[in-house]
Amino acid sequence: MSLAQGSFYSSDNRTIGLISLAHGTSHFYHLVLPPLFPWLKIEFGLSYAELGLLMTVFFVVSCIVQASSGFLVDHKGARPVLFAGIGLLALSAVTYAVSSSYLGLMIGAILMGCGNGVFHPVDYTLINHKISAKRLPYAYSFHGVTGYLGWALAPVFMVAIAELANWRTAMMAAAILAISVLILIWFNRDLLTDDAKERQASNLANARKEDPNHQPLGTFDFLKLPAVWLCWLFFFFSMVAMSGIQSFAPSALFKTYEISVASGNFFLTLLALGTAGGMLFGGYLASRFAAPERTVVICLFVSALMSVIIGAELVSATLIPTLFIVIGIGLGIAAPSRDLMIRSATPQGASGRVYGIVYSGIDLGASVGPLAFGILLDAGRPNWLFLGVAFIQCLIIFTAFRVAGSIPNRPAAAS
């Protein structure tokens, strides 16, 4: 490798690291509040419904901001939007820490939703524009892994500080963490330079190399593309299934297999670790195979099969941890190929807008999934949680084929 190539890849690695750090911070903030619910319930005299409403507001606001911030990314550039998002996360934690009423907590949830909503449009715009094509699968892989690490770190971090001091100190520590990340990214901001006009001109020039008659999309023309809404459905269904498992798998396993709730929560950790490991291997696979939808379909089929085995009670309780790990590995391996598939479906010059709309499906799915699966458990059908997850994963498989078939200049995956 020449010196120039080494320098180029070093720049790629640092850029991937900065973007992934920001992504991990956003996922960390997903779970700064729920671990503190026991403290908040006592101090403010809140019901579980009132505590749950804080998270509903967070996801609804994040959904709206995510769908709209992509327009800002495409017109003003990704870097300033990223700075604003991290700053809003820090401000939300400070707002929580000084709150003296439920209204203050609600304002914190709104601010946190505003901050969280910018990350996917920003991250994927920067990755697609700043990272060399050969390293994109690895960038997607590492980006996804840091998200899961953020989820894993938050409960331990928040509860440990709350027990050593109090919940307000834990929130201030979360704010300091976000501010530290913001300072680090600020001092390395040259790696994230993003001139929106230059990016648009580059995208247009690349598109006209392939098609001399290509005309740039209007601001809202991308909304007419079936691939965009198929990708949205992909993420919506994915998060409905994942949020159902995260919310109720321990309870469902207790009622179906008499597995303790503590063990059920540990199985969720195993699933998350399996997903993180799968993402690392998935980056390698995505760089080797030209049809990412095939990897997605195979991995989701395996995960769906494991869910059916659990839901149909075809195994003993001792095998459940292994099946959870396999489910996680399948989801993780599929993730980088999924991101490549969606990149292929994204029209030139509309990266921020498309990712903003597509990833808003995650927030909406997170608000729908727990309600839908909670109804199944209330109806006395705990095993239907896993059967329902398997059914939804089959819908995701169908959606993946439809996305592949709708990409211009590519044959349908089924062919």
Query: What are the structural domain ranges in the chain?
Result: 14-192, 224-406
Q: Where are the alpha helices (DSSP H) in 312-383?
A: 320-344, 351-378
**Hey, is 64 helix, strand or coil?**
helix
Tell me how far apart the alpha carbons of residues 67 and 223 are, in angstroms, rounded to a whole number: 11
Quickly count: other Cβ atoms within 10 Å of residue 85's Cβ: 26
Structural contact between residues 393 and 241, judged by C-beta atoms closer than 8 angstroms:
yes
Task: Give the pLDDT confidence score for residue 1 in this predicted structure.
Answer: 42
- In this structure, the number of other CB atoms found within 10 A of the CB of residue 384 comes to 18
Q: CA distances (Å), 162 to each of 95, 150, 166, 181, 217, in order?
A: 17, 18, 4, 22, 50
Residue entry with tokens 């030209």: 290
Tokens of 69: 């911030």
Dist CA 228 CA 226 (whole Å):
5
Superfamily of domain 224-406: MFS general substrate transporter like domains (1.20.1250.20)
Q: Buried b / exposed e across 49-83, counting CB within 10 Å, b at 16+?
A: eebebbbebbbbbbbebbbbbbbbbbeebbbbbbb
Q: Which CATH number fits domain 14-192: 1.10.3720.10, 1.20.210.10, 3.20.20.100, 1.20.1250.20?
A: 1.20.1250.20
Give the Å distances, CA to CA, from 119 to 200, 319, 386: 20, 37, 30
Q: Can you tell me the distance from the alpha carbon of 64 to that of 307, in angstroms, rounded to the nearest whole number?
A: 32
pLDDT tens digits in sequence order for the chain, 415 residues long: 444 445 445 788 899 999 999 999 999 998 898 888 889 989 999 887 788 788 888 988 998 998 888 888 888 888 999 999 999 999 999 999 999 999 999 999 999 999 999 998 899 889 988 888 888 888 888 998 898 888 878 888 998 999 999 999 999 999 999 999 999 999 999 998 876 566 565 555 555 555 556 555 556 677 777 888 888 999 899 988 988 887 788 888 989 999 987 788 788 888 888 888 899 898 888 888 777 888 999 999 999 999 999 999 999 999 999 999 999 999 999 988 888 888 777 776 666 778 888 888 888 888 788 778 888 888 888 999 999 999 999 999 999 888 877 665 543 333 3
Distance from CA of residue 149 to its chain's centroid?
A: 12
User: Model-level pTM?
Assistant: 0.76
Same fold, 14-192 and 224-406: yes
Closest CA to 283 of 322, 216, 243, 332: 332
The angle formed by the CA atoms of residues 409, 340 and 350, to the nearest 5 degrees, is 70
Query: Between the CA of residue 378 and those of 47, 381, 383, what are the distances in Å?
Result: 19, 7, 12
Q: Pseudo-torsion of CA 92, 95, 99, 102, nearest 10°? A: -40
Closest residue by Cα to residue 388 from 286, 280, 241: 241
Amino acid (1-letter code) at residue 153: L
- Residue 308 carries which side chain, given as an amino acid letter? V
Tell me, what's the pLDDT at 218? 59
Q: Can you tell me the distance from the alpha carbon of 102 to that of 187, in angstroms, rounded to the nearest whole number?
A: 37
Task: Give the position of tokens 């099969």.
Answer: 305
List the structure tokens of 333: 């391996």
